[in-house]
């Protein structure tokens, strides 16, 4: 379901897939070949949310723009946000994997080529540098993204784009 709020209507790229069972409202932009799966909620009511190209917002995710003064939320290109994740951050870079049921709190910023582990809680205001592996509660940087991790941040988003295309083509 795509809804306007306070005069703002979501802008969805023609090549993107948004499930009819997702809820997208307000000042939201969904990029080319992105996918938004059933049960996802993207709520741009307190600030703008941008979702980049080839980014997958999996089933049951919540993305909410930050409450002022944190403001807008930007999710980069080639990002995979795993099932049940909650995103309240200011910025997620490009080529990032957010693990299932992870929580990324207000004002935080995730760099490029990062992996946030399943169930991890990225603390409010945390700045995660490029190429970081973050796990735990609270989230701690425990290593760097290596060549063995690259398929997770380079291949999986392309696979989701193709799956989204198939769903869209099937009228789902």
pLDDT tens by residue, 110-122: 999 999 999 999 9
pLDDT, position 121:
98
Q: Does residue 63 carry a pLDDT above 90?
A: yes
pLDDT, position 47:
93
Question: Considering the entire predicted model, what is its pTM?
Answer: 0.95
| Sign of the torsion angle spanned by Cα atoms 20, 21, 25, 29 | negative
pLDDT, position 78:
97
In this structure, are residues 157 and 58 in contact, taking their beta carbons and an 8 Å threshold? no
Lateral strand order in the sheet of 132-135: 17-18, 35-36, 56-57, 80-81, 97-98, 115-116, 132-135, 140-144
Q: Average of pLDDT values for 134-143?
A: 98
20-36 confidence digits (pLDDT tens): 999 999 999 999 999 99
pLDDT, position 71:
81
pLDDT, position 125:
94
pLDDT, position 109:
97
CA angle 31, 60, 2 (to 5 degrees): 50
Which tops the pLDDT comparison, 66 or 87?
87
In this structure, are residues 58 and 64 in contact, taking their beta carbons and an 8 Å threshold? no
Domains of the chain, each with CATH number or no CATH: 2-169 (2.160.10.10)
């Amino acid at each position: 379901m795509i809804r306007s709020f306070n005069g703002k209507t979501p802008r969805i790229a023609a090549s993107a897939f948004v499930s009819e069972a997702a809820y997208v409202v307000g000042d939201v932009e969904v990029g080319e070949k992105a996918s938004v799966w059933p049960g996802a909620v993207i709520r741009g009511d307190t600030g703008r949310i941008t979702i980049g190209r080839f980014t997958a917002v999996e089933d049951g995710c919540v993305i909410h723009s930050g409450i002022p003064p944190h403001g807008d939320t930007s999710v980069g290109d080639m990002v995979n946000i795993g099932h049940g994740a909650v995103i309240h951050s200011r910025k997620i870079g490009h080529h990032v994997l957010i693990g299932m049921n992870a929580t990324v709190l207000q004002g935080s910023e995730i760099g490029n080529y990062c992996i946030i582990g399943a169930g991890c809680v990225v603390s409010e205001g945390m700045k995660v540098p490029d190429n970081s592996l973050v796990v735990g509660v609270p989230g701690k940087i425990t290593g760097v993204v290596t060549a063995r991790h690259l398929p997770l941040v380079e291949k999986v988003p392309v696979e989701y784009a193709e799956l989204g295309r198939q769903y869209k083509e099937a009228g789902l």
